[in-house]
Amino acid sequence: MLAACAGGGGSGGTTPATPTGSKAAPPTRSAPQSTPPDPVESALAGMSVEEKVGQLFMPVLYGTSASSESGENQARYGAGTPAKVIRKYRLGGVILFPQNVRSAGQVVDLTNGMQRAARGVPLLVATDQENGLVARMSTLMTDFPGAGQIGATKDPSLSRAVAAATGKELRALGVNLDFAPVADVNVNPRNPVIGPRAFGDDPKKVARMVSEAVKGFDDAKVAATAKHFPGHGDTSVDSHTGLPVIKHTRAEWERIDAPPFRAAIAAGVDAVMSAHIVFPKLDPSGDPATLSKPILTGLLREKLGFKGVISTDALNMGGARTKYDDGEVAVRAVLAGADLLLMPNDLPKAHRAVLAAVKSGRISEQRLDQSVTRLLTLKQSKGLLAEAPVASAEEAARVLRSSEHRKLAARVSGD
């Protein structure tokens, strides 16, 4: 762009003449505007293959502080403290369970300490806070009703309000990803694993509730996860211990199971969790959806157009481990399209297997980079790459079980 001329002193603002015999000065150009580096691209470019593989894994760690020595950590991971495990495997995330929880201040110290241990790229710190039956942080947080009760109100705005309040409390504790909402349509009264965790048995109603919940978590700047794809609502087997088979036709899947996931994607859901279920009409291989490329890549990515993070359900569950060992399960999940490998039964074995698969070319570096890019993009969207997250005990004390949140819980419950 040409630089503006200096203003003249005469009427009309004419430019002073160039002195006789002198050459006119060449027009000057402003310095080119440098494009700021993309944080995701910069982070990816700075990673080794080992660091990229570490980003895929999200185990449960043992202890109530980042420096807690635990025999369980030592036995499972070959490192005694959460901080040492994070550094050893260059983890991309961790998931919290009740054994990690004592008090609000303690959880804040734990999450801050784990974030410091991550050093380079901040962690996704996750938990299962669905409310109701599944509420890992229940000793600290507002006792909100579960999805079944929210669905019974027939008021989607309450779904958004509860998700926003839940997310606000989680973020105050240093948790930035919730494995919620449940997007399953519970059409089987004998379902042993979903039941009231779902918003109901009407696909359209569930879709509206899920969509609003996704928006509520986004309001709180906490990542939401729609689960369990392609739909765990019509099972009579618990995938924690067995491998359920869904007998819906493709048309039944489109009508019953798909609408809440379509709604979640339309609402901008950050992540979708796979189910350890066999769905023969979607993939006749007999592999669970978690290990199925036709389901995770063909259906979720290509047909539904989901561009975010695909998380496995916990890989220590029986439904994921009926056909393959712990290393092969992790490799096949990545090949199927998963980005986040949640709670592998044997982290060292799974990590070695994925790393070996990348080095041998079975998992291409391009495929690995796709997953890491999606994980980094999620972190960037929640502000984690711009500034290392630090939770505040004072903020947690102000937000947790606030009078506003307790009134909302009472309103949903009809009290």
Q: Determine contact, residues 131/166, Cβ cutoff 8 Å.
A: yes
Question: What parts of the chain have a pLDDT lower than 70?
Answer: 1-34, 236-239, 241
DSSP class of 286: -
In a domain, residue 136? The reply is: yes
Residue 415 burial by Cβ neighbours in a 10 Å radius (0-12, 13-18, 19+):
exposed
The Cα 370–Cα 310 span in angstroms is 11
pTM of the complete model? 0.89
DSSP class of 301: I
Confidence (pLDDT) at 18: 39
pLDDT in tens, 88-140: 999 999 999 999 999 999 999 999 999 999 988 999 999 999 999 999 999 99
The Cα 230–Cα 273 span in angstroms is 9
Confidence (pLDDT) at 11: 34
In a domain, residue 199? The reply is: yes
Confidence (pLDDT) at 84: 98
In a domain, residue 314? The reply is: yes
The Cα 399–Cα 338 span in angstroms is 34
Q: Determine contact, residues 96/136, Cβ cutoff 8 Å.
A: yes
**Across 194-290, where does the E strand assignment appear?**
225-229, 271-274
Which residue in the list 128, 143, 219, 240 is annotated as catalytic? 240
In a domain, residue 380? The reply is: yes
Q: What is the dihedral of CA 244, 249, 251, 253, to 10 degrees?
A: 0
**Across 167-320, where does the E strand assignment appear?**
177-178, 225-229, 271-274, 309-311
Confidence (pLDDT) at 89: 98
In a domain, residue 71? The reply is: no
Q: What CATH number should be reported for the domain holding residue 365?
A: 3.20.20.300
Confidence (pLDDT) at 33: 60
In a domain, residue 215? The reply is: yes
How far from the centroid of its chain's Cα atoms is residue 326's Cα? 22
Which residue in the list 257, 270, 287, 313 is annotated as catalytic? 313
The Cα 384–Cα 389 span in angstroms is 6
In a domain, residue 88? The reply is: no
Q: Can you give the residue range of the structural domain that contains 386?
A: 126-340+347-410
Main-chain phi, psi angles of 30, to 5 degrees: -70, 155
Confidence (pLDDT) at 241: 64
Confidence (pLDDT) at 30: 53
In a domain, residue 81? The reply is: no
Q: Count other C-beta atoms under 10 Å from residue 3's C-beta.
A: 9
Pairing of strands 134-135, 124-127: unpaired
- Coil vs helix vs strand at 2: strand
> Would residue 405 show up in a list of annotated catalytic residues for this protein?
no
Main-chain phi, psi angles of 341, to 5 degrees: -100, 105
**Domains contained in the chain, number:** 1
> Would residue 240 show up in a list of annotated catalytic residues for this protein?
yes
